[in-house]
Amino acid sequence: MHTRRRGRQIRYYVSNRLISGGTDPQGWRLPAMALEREVASAIARHIDKQASDHRICATPDLHRNNAFGAKARPLARRLSQGVPDLLHEILDKGRIRKNGIVQTP
């Protein structure tokens, strides 16, 4: 969702409790930029840790793991620096699961 303040568009996320109508005290609104920054940082930390622990590949493979790790660290760095639209691109092309990110067709 978004609103306009002083001519600027401000995006935010709203819980279902508020969307479905009502003023539920358990409902929340979160500023989109701050939430997206935290999600990107969490994903970046996860990718960096997996690369550091040599656990980027689901099946252990030293050569592939090093190659993926070499690509994963710059990706994690770009995510944590807030490269515009990178988080959206990752989330559009893949799905985050408990133990990894899988690419969707």
The Cα–Cα gap between 84 and 36 comes to 11
- 81-104 residue pLDDT tens: 988 788 888 777 766 666 666 666
Domain boundaries in the chain? 2-103
Angle at 82 between CA 76 and CA 87, to 5 degrees: 70
The Cα–Cα gap between 2 and 11 comes to 4
- 31-86 residue pLDDT tens: 888 888 888 998 899 889 888 887 777 777 777 878 888 888 999 999 999 887 88
- Which two structure tokens, joined as six digits, stand for 92? 């559009």
Which of 6-15, 25-34, 54-63 shows the lowest per-residue confidence on average (mean pLDDT)? 54-63
